[in-house]
Structure 1
Amino acid sequence: MAENNAAAFSRETTPGPPAGPADRRRAALAAWAPQFGLRLTTPRLELRVPDEHDLLALAENVAAHGIHDPGHSPFPGAWSDVPPRAAAGRVMQYLWKGLALSRPDYWNLGLVALLDGRPVGVQGLQARGFPQLGEAATESWLVRDKHRQGLGTEMRAAALHLAFAGLGAKYATSAVYEDNAAALAVNKKLGYQPDGIEVQSRKGEAAVLTRWRIDAPQWELSPAAGVRVSCHGLDACRALFGARPQATPSVRQEPT
């Protein structure tokens, strides 16, 4: 299975020179914040830390289409249960905050997912005490007109590849309300296992939040491990994320 994972997840260590103004701008940012050099690619998507241009395009897309049906509250904190324009502003604040607060013992990596060059959602990966605990939490969402196309599964698979094959995680977790059918389907499809429940107050009523977990051996055997993912710029970020030393054996090194 290690050989299969090596084929599915490649880490490219010698990126070529920036091709245009946007690439040069990101390279300049990466000199100060190495997350800007991190990039994951899947068969249909590119995932990267958003710069100001990505943030603006994402906010405009959220304002135009929304994230979910009005009145629905699929996420803890109900942060998205507001008019689309207000949700767009909250998305920008969340991504800025994650970038500003990241350090090895606590990081919140928010990756914008681009389809055909246009931001269509966010894939999050967060951890506390990662060097000691080896546990990261996943969360994600897409704008409404990109639902039910398999993109959520693809972007989550990329995050799991980064966590397990790239950073040496022992576990990945997910928390989903029991009435969020789409997110539950992604968890089950990618091999997460039930890990208990928590009853929360949501809009003044009790709501059941289901917890899910997948460990490294389970991931090795899951459909997520078979998704081809390429990773660029990870080595410069390893210290920032507190990557565990056993992270690299199943990762194939490839030049660009």
Structure 2
Amino acid sequence: MSEQTRAEPFPALSALYPSLGLVVRAGDLTLRPLSDEDLPEYAALIRRPIFEDPTSPQVFPWYRAEPETRVREALRFQWTLRSGISPERWTLAFGVWAGGRLIGAQDVSAQRFAERRTVTSGSWLTLDAHGNGYGRLMRQAMLVLAFDHLGALRAESAAVVGNAPSYGVSRACGYIDNGTEISTIPGSSEEQQRFLVTPELLRRPDVPVEVEGVTPALREMLGA
């Protein structure tokens, strides 16, 4: 086949859908959006224990389902988040890898980001990954992405009242208390403590945070 007739290679999927090209590295952690190739590993992960007490009110409603139902709904949720990214509303759902092993998830979300410059977040780690400082570091890495690279001016979070580990992560990152609310998560009516952090309040990690993939196309996609 001549050079003239040889087909040009297709562009990478991240060139077609820019959010898939994001990579955030901090210490031995890597955060990147979950691809379809990652989902079998992700499915295996969410079958594993995340909470010491699975009956606690701190347990995510989606985690209370039977494992196979949990997996199907989690996969559907990931595809929904990915397809729903727009300047009006978006969620970047990152897998979190430590030393090449998937250990949890960290997301960052916004509504009308161009106007509000505010993000919210959620995260979880498998039980065997607790106690290594990963919860704090992955949150800090997400905040560096949001503040330094996307132009956020405030970040909000919430945890069920009494969830001391989550409180600890938020406060270690520089969040301050921001009132309480009743959970808006479907299936939950628990009281939550709200937290707020700004770029000035952020306690940055002791390791550098490297961010790849924040392109003009991604900024347009997110309204950033």
TM-score bracket, shorter-length normalisation: 0.7 to 0.9
Report whether the alignment pairs 1:49 with 2:29: no
Q: TM (normalized to structure 1)?
A: 0.76
Q: What code does the residue aligned with 1:187 have? A: S
Q: TM (normalized to structure 2)?
A: 0.87
- The equivalent position to 1:186 in structure 2, one of 169, 186, 196, is 169
Change (3 A) 1:200 1:48: closer
Distance in 2, Cα, partners of 1:217 & 1:181: 24
SS at match of 2:105: strand
Name the counterpart of 1:70.
54
Name the counterpart of 1:230.
210
Deviation of 1:96 (Å): 1.3
Name the counterpart of 2:79.
96
**Which runs of no fewer than 5 residues in structure 2 stay unpaired?**
1-8
* Contact 1:62/1:85 (<8 A) preserved: no
RMSD: 2.4
Distance in 2, Cα, partners of 1:191 & 1:227: 16
Change (3 A) 1:202 1:31: closer
Deviation of 1:36 (Å): 1.2
Name the counterpart of 2:138.
155
Change (3 A) 1:88 1:151: farther
Report whether the alignment pairs 1:171 with 2:154: yes
Aligned-pair identity (%): 29
Distance in 1, Cα, partners of 2:219 & 2:111: 15
**Which runs of no fewer than 5 residues in structure 1 stay unpaired?**
1-23, 244-256
* Contact 2:137/2:205 (<8 A) preserved: no
Name the counterpart of 2:5.
none
* Contact 2:57/2:190 (<8 A) preserved: no
Deviation of 1:100 (Å): 0.7
Name the counterpart of 2:4.
none
Name the counterpart of 1:87.
70
Identify the structure with bigger relative contact order (alpha carbons < 8 Å, sequence gap 6+). 1
Q: What code does the residue aligned with 1:239 have? A: E
Deviation of 1:94 (Å): 2.1
Q: What code does the residue aligned with 1:241 have? A: L
Q: What code does the residue aligned with 1:238 have? A: R
